[in-house]
Structure formats: C-alpha cells, structure tokens
Amino acid sequence: MGPLFALAQTASRFGLWLGGALILLSALVIGVDVVLRKALALSVGGADELGGYALAIGTAWGLSAALLDRNHIRIDSLYLLFPDWLRAALDILGLLAFSAVFGLIGWHAIGVVDQSLTAGSRSMSALQTPLALPQGIWLAGLGLFLAVAALLLVRALTMLGRRDVVGIVRLIGVRTAKEEATDEVRSAEAVHMRIGGEERRS
C-alpha cells in the first residue's frame, strides 16, 4: 500500500506540472498571437483553442492532487462540531459522493472520446485538431483521479477496520477555512522573508 500511495502522489504532482506548463505555454502563445495580430495583422491561429485544451487537461490532471491535498471545498460549519467518528464517516461519504460524480463524468467521457475517434472529428479551426487527442489526454487525467480516489477509499476503509478515526480525518478530512488561510499566509510569508533577507544582504 505504501509504495502505491507514493506513486499516486508522484503521479499527481506530475499532473500539476503538466497542467501548469500547458497553461503557461498557452498564455505565451496567446500573448504572441495578440501582439502579432495588432502589429503585423498576422495570426498564429488556434491560440484560443489551445488555451481551452490546456484548461481541460490541466483541470483533469489536477483533480487528484487537489484530492490528496484536501483542497476540494467542503462546508465545515457543522462538521467541526461533530465527534471524530462521525467526521470520519462523513469523510468517507464525501469521498464516495465526489468520486461517484466524477466517476460518472469519466464514464460518459469515454463515450465522448469514442465518438470523436469513430467520427474522426476535427476542431472547426485552422488547426483542425483531431479532437480525440486532447480529449484522450483529458480522459487519462480523469482516470488518474479515479485511481487515486479508489486508493484513498481503500486506505480509509482499512483505517476504519483498525478503528483509526484520527488517521481517516488526517487522510481525507476537511481542511478548514483556517487551515486554508494559514497556507495562503505561509506562502506569502516565505516570499516576504526571502526578499527581506536578500535586501539586507544587498
């Protein structure tokens, strides 16, 4: 179970980098496109389309990391009042509901890709992208999400078997708005301190 979990974490991190790189790349292509269009009345063509694919692929490949890091928003007003065992039960229920919805989306997404493949659909643009290509990568991201969700579920249920409710809450529990805020602050502070240090040295 341990190595599998580490693999899930590595794959999810890779998903974030893939999505981030695609988003940055499409920002650059769109930026160049806007400048060329105005300055030389030229267009790269299809820059918008690439941005759309980057978002779809980035979203699908980022879902599992967001799940592992407990980033998906949950309303915790009542949750915080509950005892640990109830929280743990709700955590498992929440994970189930979330994965069920995106599992169903993934299931129907297979149909979407399949249809693009059989019809040989291409985008209606200068690029004429075979749609199955971006859709396929998108579907693979959803697949990674489901695999990670299943792994988390198995892990949580094993913990339930051991009556390790605290472990469950730590694995898939709600990150409270306060935790969320603390993270935001930590990254701002890390930058602040690094810059402060540099300025004192210079």
Partner 1 sequence: MIGVALAILLVLLAVAVPVAGAMGMLALALNTLYSKLPLSLAMGEMAWATSNNFLLVAIPFFVMLGEILLRSGMAERMYNALVKWMPWLPGGLMHSNIAACAMFAATSGSSVATAATIGTVALGEVKKHQYSERLFLGTLAAGGTLGILIPPSINMIVYGVLTDTSIPKLYLAGVIPGLVLAGLFMLTVLIACLINPGLGGRRVTASWDERIKSLPDLLPPLIIFLAVIGSIYAGLATATESAALGVVAALAICAWRRRLTVAVLRQVFEGTMRTTAMVMAILVAAYFLNFVITSIGLTSQVNRAITRLGLSPYELLFAVIVFYVVLGMFMETLSMMVATIPIVAPVVFAAGFDPVWYGVIMVLLIETAMITPPVGINLFVVQGVRGHGKIEDVIIGSAPFVVTLLLMILILIAFPEIAMWLPKLAAG
Considering only residues 78 to 97 of the shown chain, the ones binding partner 1 according to CB under 8 A are 78-79, 90-91, 93-94, 97
- Indicate whether 126 belongs to the interface with partner 1 (CB under 8 A): no
Please, which residue, 135 or 159, has the CB nearer to partner 1?
135
**Least distance to partner 1, CB of residue 22, Å:** 9
Stretch that binds partner 1, among 1-9, 33-41, 151-159, 160-168 (CB under 8 A): 33-41
Distances from the Cα of 164 to the Cαs of 88, 161, 171, in angstroms? 9, 8, 11
**Least distance to partner 1, CB of residue 140, Å:** 14
Please tell me the count of residues contacting partner 1 according to CB under 8 A.
79
Q: Which is nearest to 106 in space by CA: 73, 69, 70, 150?
A: 150
Q: Can you tell me which residue has the tokens 């997404």?
A: 109
Using the rule CB under 8 A, which residue among 4, 6, 7, 34 binds partner 1?
34
* Cα distance between residue 164 and residue 156, in whole Å: 9
3-class state of residue 128 by DSSP: coil
Q: Which two tokens stand for residue 50?
A: 């690439």
